[in-house]
Structure 1
């Protein structure tokens, strides 16, 4: 699978889904996308919501996986406290055999977490029998899903006490779902990251399911997840690709988004020494254009001086130096593609801050981050990183070659013009 994906990376740009799954390489990885969206306050809320929702889905799958492992590893040493333990054991085995504990299937996970297992006639009968006996012994009027939830939680509690390893509980999943609602869905005043432009019926449907029906399965947020993904895919991701895939010069983005978190604030303080005062680094495009115009002005001044002092054409050829430097920086600034960066396969980070610690997890490959020392002279090396995506690297190389052709032609035209015109001493 990795070999196939590596081949795909040589042929096309990545998709949003691949970025969200952390399969892509810099500069089109998830952290770069998150950094890019940090300049759009409302857009990044949708990405935060997606990340939190995927974390909730993983918790739900881990819960179902824990239930499945508890059933598979139980043995005769388990203490049967009452006559209902045998019935519960048969019911849990039926759930396992019918595939309701397939934690890789999102639909099955949601069905199990809701207690919606009536599709299977066998499980429905077992649940009705267990419910009837349990009601006769406890005089309880709980619904079928509550019976199932209580039975599973009791089993996980016994498993936790035996193995000394904590298991995820339904209470934790419920709390996590409520936290997502309070963070994104309540109102602009109550939710710090309120999702704007979300239809009221979609938002209220999710709130009612979580707050009133006490649901926490992934299907509760299904409509919101699709809406968020479509917004990121249609409105945000194309802008991100056009920014980082077609250019290797980027003005430094503000880190306002990360100043609210204490941990990142401390990290920012430690990295404050890496910040460069060079305008070529903080304002890459505008800084190069300004520097290029200065060199072009110097070239024009030298050219006119040599012409009106009636110097020979051989001496006037020296204007190639300021004209060459001026054309290089001006064209690179206009196209936002540094020629040397593209040839050496490096690009600028969107911010000085290093990657988040999660980027070094198992989901991320170990990649090199060192760049040649010579680039310290071209606007600072602290914001540079290698381009690891082969298709983007090749595309930037072609754009850099095109810019080099423009620089060569422009320099040649200006140098020939100021060298060949007749001189006249004033």
Structure 2
């Protein structure tokens, strides 16, 4: 794993997941996974590994995570600014009334997770729109009035010594600066969207062009710049990648490479078992000797059953799921654990019946020496 992939995977797993709001009697949605409301093996870290190793499109997930981080950065910055306005400038005449009013109306913005438009409430959508509007108004690129105007934009943004105090680093409470937000927006643009970028993702040309013009020419860095791209990438992952992830992690506990390994072992074991069975029959060996056929038949049937169900019954029963070859994670999502145990019992019973039928057939059939 490259250092960049390791860093991104650590970021996906680094934030401790919040406890699920209520026990789910269903598989999670993509938004629940991205917002870290699920547990292994359907958590964000497992989805990141799946996008990297199976889909080969982890750049789309990294793009989403970087936009989520950018939005979190903006919210953190505005919250700090709001506290400064409320605590340091109790007299509204000392600050821009317009800006102070917007900051006070924003509230605490308690929804910390980036979400596509159809997953957020009307109140959250309005708060995000107000935050983006405030960041545009505070942006120096938007503070210059056009010729002939009366300086209307100056009334919409923090000005004078108050602005310097809020945007400076004199207060230890300010951990995010406006330069951090700008750098974050440029990083997203130059890493994922510019033609020939290091990790360029494929988006409709109109979306890429609009973002490029907004960031480079208009100087924007508010979260609304990336809203269309964020929703497009979310829908692409939800449609193309997430169903396969649920099939692999919600209904199985193996990855394709080890499934193929089990298929090969199963076919070799079955070939050896049939070959030995016919040899022992035609050599007219006694039934006690032929009982040893149970070993290759059991191995073969078990491995083929695991391949067919994408599920290792023993691992499922003891509560393990594979995320990379021979590396396992404890199954913590209650619904997935129960689902995998039920499927493991079915797979185990099928394998047991097939194994018993084959052993009985080749052990009890009369021998005939050729």
TM range (shorter): 0.7 to 0.9
Measure, in 1, the Cα distance between the counterparts of 2:101 and 2:330: 53
Alignment of 1:68-79 (within 5 A): 68-74=82-88
Q: 1:87 to 1:40 in 2, by over 3 A?
A: same
SS of 1:5's partner is coil
Q: Which residue in the other structure is 2:183 paired with?
A: 175
Q: Is 1:107 the counterpart of 2:51 in the alignment?
A: no
Q: Is the 8 A contact 1:100 1:112 kept in 2?
A: no
Runs of 5+ unmatched residues, structure 2: 1-17, 111-126, 139-143
CA deviations on 1:27-54 (whole Å, 9 max, x unpaired) are 1111111111113677322211111111
Q: Is 1:14 the counterpart of 2:34 in the alignment?
A: no
Q: Which residue in the other structure is 2:166 paired with?
A: 156
Measure, in 2, the Cα distance between the counterparts of 1:218 and 1:156: 20
CA deviations on 1:244-284 (whole Å, 9 max, x unpaired) are 22221214xxxxxxxxxxxxxxxxxxxxxxxxxxxxxxx42
Q: Which residue in the other structure is 2:193 paired with?
A: 185
Question: TM-score if structure 2 supplies the norm length?
Answer: 0.79
Q: Is the 8 A contact 1:110 1:219 kept in 2?
A: yes
Measure, in 1, the Cα distance between the counterparts of 2:157 and 2:62: 33
Q: 1:157 to 1:303 in 2, by over 3 A?
A: closer
Measure, in 1, the Cα distance between the counterparts of 2:343 and 2:101: 61
CA deviations on 1:365-396 (whole Å, 9 max, x unpaired) are xxxxxxxxxxxxxxx5xx12211111211222
Q: Is the 8 A contact 1:19 1:29 kept in 2?
A: yes
Question: TM-score if structure 1 supplies the norm length?
Answer: 0.69
Q: Which residue in the other structure is 1:64 paired with?
A: 78
Measure, in 2, the Cα distance between the counterparts of 1:91 and 1:144: 10
Q: Is 1:403 the counterpart of 2:347 in the alignment?
A: yes
SS of 1:385's partner is strand
Name the larger-Rg structure.
Answer: 1
Measure, in 1, the Cα distance between the counterparts of 2:102 and 2:347: 64
Q: CA deviation at 1:306?
A: 2.9
Q: Is the 8 A contact 1:62 1:103 kept in 2?
A: no
Runs of 5+ unmatched residues, structure 1: 79-84, 117-130, 133-139, 252-282, 352-379
Q: Is 1:384 the counterpart of 2:323 in the alignment?
A: no
Measure, in 1, the Cα distance between the counterparts of 2:339 and 2:135: 47
Q: 1:143 to 1:184 in 2, by over 3 A?
A: farther
Measure, in 1, the Cα distance between the counterparts of 2:204 and 2:276: 64
SS of 2:76's partner is helix
Q: Which residue in the other structure is 1:289 paired with?
A: 263
Number of equivalenced pairs: 330
Q: Which residue in the other structure is 2:218 paired with?
A: 213
Q: 1:298 to 1:114 in 2, by over 3 A?
A: same
Q: CA deviation at 1:149?
A: 4.5
Measure, in 1, the Cα distance between the counterparts of 2:319 and 2:80: 46
Q: Is the 8 A contact 1:102 1:108 kept in 2?
A: no
Alignment of 1:8-407 (within 5 A): 8=24, 11-39=25-53, 43-74=57-88, 86-88=93-95, 90=97, 93-97=100-104, 99-100=105-106, 103-104=109-110, 105-115=127-137, 144=153, 148-151=157-160, 153-157=163-167, 160-161=169-170, 163-187=171-195, 189=196, 191-196=197-202, 198-251=203-256, 283-350=257-324, 383-407=327-351
SS of 1:224's partner is helix
Q: CA deviation at 1:401?
A: 1.5
Q: CA deviation at 1:69?
A: 0.8
CA deviations on 1:208-254 (whole Å, 9 max, x unpaired) are 11111111111111111111111111111111111222221214xxx
SS of 2:27's partner is coil
Measure, in 1, the Cα distance between the counterparts of 2:71 and 2:19: 28
- What's the C-alpha RMSD, in Å, of the aligned pairs? 3.1
Q: Which residue in the other structure is 2:368 paired with?
A: 424
Q: CA deviation at 1:12?
A: 0.5
Measure, in 2, the Cα distance between the counterparts of 1:35 and 1:112: 37
Q: Is the 8 A contact 1:181 1:207 kept in 2?
A: yes
Q: 1:195 to 1:141 in 2, by over 3 A?
A: farther
Q: 1:301 to 1:46 in 2, by over 3 A?
A: closer
Once superposed, which parts of structure 1, at least 4 consecutive aligned residues long, lie more than 4 Å away? 89-93, 140-143, 149-152
Q: CA deviation at 1:143?
A: 5.6
